[in-house]
């Protein structure tokens, strides 16, 4: 017995419908009435890009001053981003600096790192849970850049987080400084 054109078409539609059905998972368990029946559910939380510090790009100008003057200016936003999603999501950001030189960088053309001070100030923004602590909350706690020290830290909390601060740089220009444009480096790291 042959199939008509409509019979063949109908069989094709049924076949397409059957193959397009998504299989349901097999029953995890069978439980009698008045008892609970458990199904285990699982998912993953992924980590982000890890622990990193972002600093202003390019050259930051502090202005001009004469020998014996003091220059003070914000450096620009420093941000620590912690995407580790760790149970212990603590970190310490460290700052240090070099002397500032002009010309050939001779002794007379150098302002030492001990004449450069830094204070973090409070966080301008934070994300995530935990306690964020400025290394130098105000101008009175400014520290000289001749040695590395804590700029900011996170001392408690779990999960991904971030903190941003805008530190102030203070330069005490020595009375015997020679004229010129001085350049130095301020370094941030986080661990």
Is residue 37 assigned to a domain? no
Is residue 14 assigned to a domain? no
Is residue 105 assigned to a domain? yes
Q: For the chain, how long is the longest CA-to-CA vector? A: 113
When pLDDT is averaged across residues 138-161 and rounded to a whole number, the result is: 97
Comparison of pLDDT for 82 and 27, the residue scoring more: 82
Q: Given this model, what pLDDT does residue 1 score?
A: 53
Comparison of pLDDT for 13 and 48, the residue scoring more: 48
Q: What residue numbers bound the domain in which 79 lies? A: 51-190
CATH code of the domain in which 115 resides: 2.60.40
Query: Dihedral sign, CA of 110, 105, 63, 166?
Result: negative
H or E element: which one contains 6? helix 5-19
Is residue 64 assigned to a domain? yes
Is residue 56 assigned to a domain? yes
Quote the CA–CA distance of 118 and 186 in Å, as a whole number.
10
Q: Number of structural domains, the chain?
A: 1
Is residue 33 assigned to a domain? no
- When pLDDT is cut at 50, 70 and 90, the band that residue 181 belongs to is very high
Quote the CA–CA distance of 38 and 86 in Å, as a whole number.
30
Is residue 5 assigned to a domain? no
Least confident segment among 33-37, 166-170, 171-175: 33-37
Is residue 8 assigned to a domain? no
Mention every residue, 6+ apart, whose C-beta is less than 8 A from residue 27.
none
Quote the CA–CA distance of 173 and 70 in Å, as a whole number.
6
Q: What is the pTM of this model?
A: 0.79
């Amino acid at each position: 017995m042959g199939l008509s054109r409509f019979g063949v078409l109908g069989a094709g539609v049924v076949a397409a419908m059957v193959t397009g059905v998504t299989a349901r998972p097999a029953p995890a368990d069978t439980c009698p009435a008045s008892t609970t029946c458990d199904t285990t559910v699982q998912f993953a939380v992924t980590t982000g890009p890890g622990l990193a510090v972002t600093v202003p790009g390019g050259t930051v100008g502090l202005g001009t001053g004469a020998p014996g003057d003091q220059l003070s200016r914000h450096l620009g936003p420093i941000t620590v981003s912690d995407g580790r999603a760790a149970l212990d999501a603590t970190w310490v950001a460290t700052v240090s600096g070099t002397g500032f030189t002009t010309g050939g960088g001779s002794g007379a053309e150098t302002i030492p790192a001990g004449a450069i001070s830094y204070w973090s100030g409070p966080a301008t923004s934070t994300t995530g849970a935990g306690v964020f602590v400025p290394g130098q909350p105000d101008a009175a706690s400014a520290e000289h850049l001749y040695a590395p020290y804590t700029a900011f830290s996170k001392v408690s909390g779990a999960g991904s987080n971030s903190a941003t601060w805008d530190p102030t740089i203070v330069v005490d220009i020595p009375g015997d400084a020679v004229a010129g444009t001085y350049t130095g480096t301020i370094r941030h790291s986080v661990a």
